[in-house]
Structure 1
Amino acid sequence: MRRKSIVILDGDRTHTYQLQQYLVNAGFDVISLSSVQELNQCLPVLLPDLIIMELKSPEYDGFSLCRQLYQQHRIPLMLMSEPVDEAEWIVALEVGAEAFLVKPFNPRMLLAKVRVLLRRRQPVAVVKASPPDAPRRYRFGSWVLDHVKREIEDRDGKRTPLSGADFQLLKIFLTHANQVLSRDQLYGMTRGRDSTPDDRSLDVHISRLRHRLEDDAKNPSLIKTIRGVGYVLSAHVEPLAL
């Protein structure tokens, strides 16, 4: 079986070398780069399975580079950064990042996230279609979800397409409406694993979904936070005929 290849982009050579050695010992082929110029020279020759890059760098705009890499190559991206505002993580996810790590982080957390991202890219042997009599559209609150087109429609008829992660999370809430779902349950349903204490990606995804649904983050009426437990979609869900 071919070893998965990873490119690490970080100007801190000491940090990059440590990550490289850890991932090599875990069975990956790893190339460490310190500049965007080196990255641009590398990509035409080797399209890696994953790019791990520093978000904040004096040499480049991490958000623009993330968008460029996603649009041109569709390579999974994992970002590293010192603590930043939640809004910045949301932007990073919207422009193409699939995971992030807040420095300092445990190398085992890095390895776990790398394996999860690469596992997502493996082909699925069997894809189960929705039952033929399953409703195509669901009304909840002032919104309608079309799960075939993967878009939501507001009361004025404005339609907004959803990303894969947003669609998956919303569908889970709709099929478990008015049920409190713990963080571990949501991680298990979306990623097939339990949460870890320092993984905040679920909170970022929920924050982004609330934004899509125009749900006030400080006082949400749809996706409510049950402190210390998890989240609940507080709405009546009605299947709609075509």
Structure 2
Amino acid sequence: MNHVDHVLIVDDDHEIRELVSSYLEKSGVRTTTVADGRQMRAFLECNTVDLIVLDIMMPGDDGLVLSRELRAGAHKAVPIVMLTARSDEMDRILGLEMGADDYLTKPFSARELLARIKAVLRRSRMLPPNLQVSEAGQLLRFGLWKLDTTARHLIDADDTVIALSSAEYRLLRVFIDHPQRVLSRDQLLSLTQGREAELFDRSIDLLVSRIRQRLGDDAREPIYITTVRIEGYVFSVPIEIIEARE
């Protein structure tokens, strides 16, 4: 029996919930709709979903709070597409920083939302399509750090585990699989999010900044990720496979 994707829609606007739900259902996607964080938590206690569509602007706990909560809990691996009421760049940056996998600005077409949902689900179920890597589990070493590709987390020199959001892991993995190579922002966005960069889109710069923070890398005197003026970024340290797992 073929799997039917199940999407949870969290939005306080009844009309948007019904519109989105109706369109997705007609397109073969199972949906559940809830109006706020309380209802979302209650539903997720007893149910699993493949993806969450999450509005930022809601009464009570907003989408940013809920996204951060999801990423810290039992549903940390569930992809999130965030809806923003404004085209405000800061909303998009904060959404990605809190763990969203993609975002869409209101007003939006249901068709575009479906396309974004399908793209995010595709990415969540495989590595970025242009990467030529073996996906047997690996423990990779670079500098003072190790990356566990099975658990998708970092391990520091003291063997402390550092959790990564799905977006952070994808970007770090792109760097690790393309060391010593300058990658433009367009290339990074395409490899990690499957879409072309929009004018003034700073999401990649934000994610690079987040990874630098995770690695304790100083942007002014970087060890791991070097900024190449105008061109993009380069991962500057060699990679060693220290353990391969079946």
| TM, length-normalised to structure 2 | 0.68
Unaligned runs of 5+ in 2: 128-133
Q: Is the 8 A contact 1:9 1:33 kept in 2?
A: yes
- The residue that corresponds to 1:129 in the other structure is 136
Q: Distance in 2 between matches of 1:123 and 1:172?
A: 13
- The alignment's C-alpha RMSD in Å is 3.9
Q: Deviations over 1:181-230 (max 9, x none)?
A: 13343345445x3425377543432231122234456x574331543x53
Unaligned runs of 5+ in 1: none
Q: Is the 8 A contact 1:77 1:99 kept in 2?
A: yes
1:210 alignment partner, SS class: helix
Greater C-alpha radius of gyration: 1
| TM, length-normalised to structure 1 | 0.69
Q: Is the 8 A contact 1:20 1:32 kept in 2?
A: yes
Deviation at 1:160, TM superposition (A): 5.7
- The residue that corresponds to 1:9 in the other structure is 10
- The residue that corresponds to 1:210 in the other structure is 212
Letter of the structure 1 residue corresponding to residue 53 of structure 2: I
Q: Does 1:113 align with 2:116?
A: yes
Percent identical among aligned pairs is 28
Letter of the structure 2 residue corresponding to residue 80 of structure 1: L
Q: 1:80 aligns with which of 80, 83, 101?
A: 83
1:147 alignment partner, SS class: strand
Q: Distance in 2 between matches of 1:99 and 1:60?
A: 20
Deviation at 1:8, TM superposition (A): 1.1
Q: How does 1:37-186 map to 2 (within 5 A)?
A: 37-44=38-45, 46-70=47-71, 71-74=73-76, 75-81=78-84, 82=86, 83=88, 84=90, 88-93=94-99, 97-122=100-125, 128-129=135-136, 136-139=140-143, 144-148=144-148, 150-151=153-154, 153=156, 161-163=162-164, 165-186=167-188
The count of corresponding residues between Structure 1 and Structure 2 is 225
Deviation at 1:170, TM superposition (A): 2.8
Q: Distance in 2 between matches of 1:40 and 1:176?
A: 39
Q: Distance in 1 between matches of 2:209 and 2:18?
A: 34
Q: Distance in 2 between matches of 1:165 and 1:33?
A: 25
Letter of the structure 1 residue corresponding to residue 30 of structure 2: D
- The residue that corresponds to 2:130 in the other structure is none
Q: Distance in 1 between matches of 2:10 and 2:174?
A: 35
Deviation at 1:108, TM superposition (A): 4.1
Letter of the structure 2 residue corresponding to residue 197 of structure 1: E
Deviation at 1:118, TM superposition (A): 2.2
